[in-house]
Amino acid sequence: MNIRHFLSHIFVTIGLFGTQSVGLCQSVYRTLKKLPDTGQYLSYTSTYGEDNDYAINPPNLKVSNSTMVYDSVTTLLWQLSDGGEMTFDQAITYCDTLTLGGFTDWRLPSPAEAYSILNHQNPNPAVDIKIFPKTGAEYWYTSAVQANDPSKSWVTNAGGGIGNHPKTETISAGGTKKFHARAVRSTTPDVFIANRFVDNGDGTVTDQLTDLMWVKSPGTTASTWEDAILLSEYNTTGGHTDWRLPNIKEIRSLNDETRTQPSVSTTAFPGIAQSKFWSSTSLPNQSSKAWYFDNQFGITTYDVKSATHLVWMVRSANNTASMHPVEKNQPTGFRIFPNPTDHILTIQSDIIITMVEIRNPLGQEITKIYNTNKINTSALPTGQYVLTVYNQNSQPVGRTIFLKN
């Protein structure tokens, strides 16, 4: 094992891309050139802001030399067919001693690297099956173990999630499940970043590892999935109007495997709640459900969209273009004005409106108004509200958010 391989293996084993605390921030080694998109391209709601509405760094995988797969987004090179079922210790040895394509610097991937090749448009296995052959794997090992319990290792699963599982669950260790190993190697030098997180002093924090900007204090109000999308689209923290609900890979990129309860930096995000945070990514084979990130330990899993979880908003740190939320999320067929409002809210519509429903971000009904396009908001407390318009058949035809001053 060469020295660069040795150091790289240490860094990816101890945390997300390899981390260590340095004052306010963390010093990190970037092994992924860019964070790839989830691959989700189908729509599951008429509300603008779900996963497929933002195609950022679309996956681009190509088979190389019939035995390897090159990812031009991350610049990582992957083993095409995984090495099969084995124990965690065997997986480390297998990858470290693998010779493939003339290369000898293969290794077991970090959690972030392993999660990067999952495709969340594909249900079980959640990988691009046109590229990666089906091997019967239920889980794929990463190089990390749970911070407070080394008997558990971090693994991605065929359903599209990532979690910490006892090493004894795999068949070779006496269990009943199939944990496989797929090796990876870097094709470009790792980039050292002295300060991962930068507090911008305006309620936002920039992650220089992923070039994403996050709301520093997400708040503690839980919302349904649809409302989480709308609340994100209408956020204006730091003077930015291009906030959105992160996809599952983006929200999970904040995880630090060296931390638990919560599993994200409490220095960069002081007071962050130990909770579940929605992503914009739907479950493709169960469209009534969406993925969320649980920062107690760092797992990703899913829930029904009517459930309520917290909202952690994101935007591209390099995005200079901005669009007013009313312009980008105005439902087809009607518009509301003025927004924000402090008295009468007018609905202008191409259809006959028979009912307007107003709910708070928790999904709780505030009021229903019938057969009018003038809404008196004077009695409403200051805040954000979700407005749903219904047609003559009592069907919802559009939803949006308005702000009450």
**What's the rounded Cα separation, in Å, for the pair 5 and 105?**
6
CA end-to-end distance (rounded Å), the chain: 63
Return the sign of the alpha-carbon dihedral for residues 24, 30, 33, 36: negative
Tell me where in the chain the CATH 2.60.40.3080 domain(s) lie: 330-404
Whether the Cβ atoms of residue 255 and residue 111 lie closer than 8 Å to each other: yes
Radius of gyration of the chain (CA): 23
Return the sign of the alpha-carbon dihedral for residues 112, 113, 114, 116: positive
Q: Where are the beta strands (DSSP E) in 247-304?
A: 276-283, 286-294, 299-304
Phi/psi for 384 (5° steps) reads -100, 145
- DSSP three-state, residue 69: strand
> Of 8, 19, 9, nearest to 263 (Cα)?
19
Q: Residue-wise over 354-383: b if at least 16 C-beta within 10 A, else e?
A: ebbbbbbbebeeeeebeeebebebeebeee
- DSSP three-state, residue 304: strand
pLDDT given for residue 298 in this prediction:
97
- Which amino acid is located at 158 in the chain? A
What is the model's pTM? 0.82
**Residue 192 neighbours by CB distance under 10 Å:** 11
Cα–Cα distances (Å) from 41 to 45, 126, 304, 402, in that order, read 12, 14, 20, 28
Tell me where in the chain the CATH 3.10.100 domain(s) lie: 194-316
Phi/psi for 245 (5° steps) reads -80, 130
Q: Per residue of the chain (405 residues), what is the pLDDT tens digit?
A: 433 333 333 333 333 444 333 335 578 999 999 999 999 999 999 888 999 999 889 999 999 999 999 999 999 999 999 999 999 999 999 999 999 999 999 999 999 999 999 999 998 999 999 999 988 999 999 999 999 999 999 999 999 999 999 999 999 999 999 999 999 999 999 999 999 999 999 999 999 999 999 999 998 889 999 999 989 988 889 999 899 999 999 999 999 999 999 999 999 999 999 999 999 999 999 999 999 999 999 999 999 999 999 999 999 998 754 444 434 444 456 788 898 899 999 998 888 889 999 988 767 889 999 999 999 999 999 988 888 888 888 888 777 888 899
**What's the rounded Cα separation, in Å, for the pair 374 and 347?**
6
pLDDT given for residue 362 in this prediction:
67
**What's the rounded Cα separation, in Å, for the pair 183 and 39?**
22
**What's the rounded Cα separation, in Å, for the pair 151 and 166?**
6
Which architecture does CATH list for 194-316? Roll (3.10)
pLDDT given for residue 37 in this prediction:
96
**The token pair that represents 195 in the structure block:** 């300060």
Please identify, in words, the CATH class of the domain defined by 330-404: mainly beta
**What's the rounded Cα separation, in Å, for the pair 268 and 172?**
40
Whether the Cβ atoms of residue 73 and residue 183 lie closer than 8 Å to each other: no
